[in-house]
Amino acid sequence: MSEKAQLINDFNQNGIGLTGRLFGLPYSLEESQLVIVPLPWEVTVSSQTGAAKGPEKIIEVSSEIDLFSKEISEVWKLKIASLDLPKEIKKQSDQLRSLAALHIHSLESGKEEESSRIITQKVNEGCENLNVYVSQLTRDLLAEGKMVGLLGGDHSTPLGLLRTLNEKFSNFGILQIDAHADLRKSYQNFTYSHGSIMFNALKLKNLSRLVQVGVRDFCEEEYLLMQKSTGRVKTFFDSDIKEQLFNGKPWGLICQEVIDTLPDLVYISFDIDGLRPELCPNTGTPVPGGLSFEEATYLIKQIVLSGKRIIAFDLSEVSGLSHWDAQAGSRILFELCNWMAVSQGRLKLTHKATVHL
């Protein structure tokens, strides 16, 4: 028996996970069914930093997760592996972040420097280079028959993956769980800002619907774009959700309304600040309100039980400076991986799984 085969043969799903491996699983990249792409990138963050360290911290703490689900059979048999952390990407992020911070400071002081135009040009070029890198990398992984999840970094990181999906699928939708609308055009003069990811995604011709859940921080420009989208953007504002809950409407029925707006193929873009701040207090731009962990995972589950297929996902804005934030992030990542696998027939449900409403 080879060393690799022996590692898998000796693996105890009820025991201690393997150090340095995502979820402590023993699988190699070559044999993996699902590949996580870590992107330590936070060039355009507009408040607290720490997202670039998120992927490394999540991988570190993920081995503490129990590899069991009462609703999904033998989740530990799903062959998940993570690519190595790209050191060159982290280096580029650090360099460009230093420049971006200078520009942001000048904007906030009301004294934009002469150098700002040069800085924004360099930052925009660097971010587009990242988009091209991610697009090619994920294109190759999907061509190999792998399922793909992207682990940021800030929320600008998935654009390259979305471009690849736009090439692969003629009609798909995005479910965005987020505190922010991310519909600003060239926020702070950065074309690929984390605050502009969904504005840029809407440029993709095969994206038929953007469905936003939990949004509670947005500007007039973004609100007007939502109104003018002729139904292409559907936003379930956090304040409206809470008002319905306070008046006795079950969360399950609200989830059904969300599901009804989505096409059959769904990409999930999960910004951790879509959750309540107590679950992610060190994320870059926390906002009061938001979803509980159980509300978010219930929504994801119901999407799958409705028969829709999750084609890929991203998880972003998890702070790598906090063990607690990374714990919450790693568990959201675990749920995203497993429910995507169920939606694609790679894992099976147990009899405990709740029937779709």
Q: What is the CATH number of the domain that holds 62?
A: 3.40.800.10
* Residue 203 falls inside a structural domain: yes
Question: In Å, how far are 18, 24, 57, 63, 164 from 15, measured between CA atoms?
Answer: 9, 10, 21, 10, 38
Q: Are 62 and 55 in contact (CB under 8 A)?
A: no
* Residue 228 falls inside a structural domain: yes
* Residue 350 falls inside a structural domain: no
Tell me, what amino acid is at 280?
C
pLDDT of residue 46: 80
**C-alpha span between 275 and 290 (Å, rounded):** 5
pLDDT of residue 31: 96
Long-range CB contacts (< 8 A, 24+ apart) of 306-309?
306/259, 306/356, 307/264, 307/356, 308/259, 308/262, 308/263, 308/264, 308/265, 308/266, 308/343, 309/264, 309/265, 309/266, 309/343, 309/344
* Residue 19 falls inside a structural domain: no
Q: Range of 183's domain?
A: 3-8+25-343
* Interval 69-112: pLDDT, tens: 999 999 999 999 999 999 999 999 999 998 888 877 777 676 66
Looking only at Cα atoms, what is the longest distance across the chain?
Answer: 67
Q: How many domains does the chain have?
A: 1
**C-alpha span between 137 and 19 (Å, rounded):** 26
**Buried/exposed code over 217-250 (b: 16+ C-beta within 10 A; e: otherwise):** bbeeebeebbeeeeeebbbbbbeebeebeeeeee
Q: Are 272 and 283 in contact (CB under 8 A)?
A: yes
pLDDT of residue 141: 98
Structure tokens at 332: 């959201």
* Residue 351 falls inside a structural domain: no
* Residue 306 falls inside a structural domain: yes
**C-alpha span between 46 and 30 (Å, rounded):** 38
Question: In Å, how far are 108, 180, 215, 313 from 239, measured between CA atoms?
Answer: 29, 13, 8, 25
* Residue 355 falls inside a structural domain: no
pLDDT of residue 281: 97
**C-alpha span between 209 and 58 (Å, rounded):** 30
> How far, in whole angstroms, is CA 199 from its chain's centroid?
16
Q: Are 182 and 195 in contact (CB under 8 A)?
A: yes
Query: pTM for the whole thing?
Result: 0.95
* Residue 304 falls inside a structural domain: yes
Residues of the chain with pLDDT under 70: 1-7, 108, 110-114, 352-357
First CA to last CA distance, the chain = 47
